[in-house]
Amino acid sequence: MQFISAGDTYLVRLERGEEIHATLKTFCQQHAITAGWLTGIGAVRQAELGYFHRERKDYSWKKIDTDHELTSLMGNISLKDGETWLHLHATLSDEHFQVIAGHLRSGVISVTGEIIIHPLPGMVSRHFNPEFNSFLLDLSEEASSG
């Protein structure tokens, strides 16, 4: 991984073989980023994408084990149980220009990953919501004042 900063924004380049979540989580921890958002592009050789079934309150997962363009990576940065948490979605394109997209559980870079991280001041946490069996952003006044 390489990076440069411009003010409080970072341009991060992930290298071949790096796992997206693990590398970006480490980067955020090293730079004390506890809230923010990110966008990116690149290429992956492996990925796992999910679709959330609201009625079932769980995900279906699809593994991808071939090269794909990472045409869009979007997500946010928060804390869950005091740990850095990345909520990422990705759009991938194959050699036939067919697109697949979803919640990104994992992804391994094949060529490069070019990520822009925009930290936000303060800290944002997640709390468990039993209605969806998921951890959602807690943007209440109590959470932001703590």
Predicted confidence band of residue 47 (pLDDT cuts 50, 70, 90): very high
Per-residue pLDDT for 146 more than 70? no
- pLDDT one-digit tens code per residue, 62-115: 999 999 999 999 999 999 999 999 999 999 999 999 999 999 999 999 999 999
- Comparing C-alpha atoms, which of 60, 63, 37, 40 is closest to residue 50? 60
CA dihedral 79, 116, 22, 78 (to 10 degrees): 10
**Region 7-31 average pLDDT:** 98
Q: What is the pLDDT of residue 24?
A: 98
Q: What pLDDT is attached to residue 140? A: 85
Res 143 pLDDT > 70 = no
Residue 32 one-letter amino acid: A
Predicted confidence at residue 15, as pLDDT, reads 98
pLDDT at 82: 94
The token pair that represents 83 in the structure block: 């740990």
Q: Which residue segments constitute the domains of the chain, with CATH numbers given?
A: 2-145 (3.30.1330.80)
Question: What's the pLDDT at 142?
Answer: 60
Residue 44: pLDDT over 90? yes
pLDDT on residue 96: 98
Q: Check: CB of residue 110 under 8 Å from CB of residue 14.
A: no
118-139 pLDDT per residue, tens: 999 999 999 999 999 999 999 9
142 or 38: which leads in pLDDT: 38
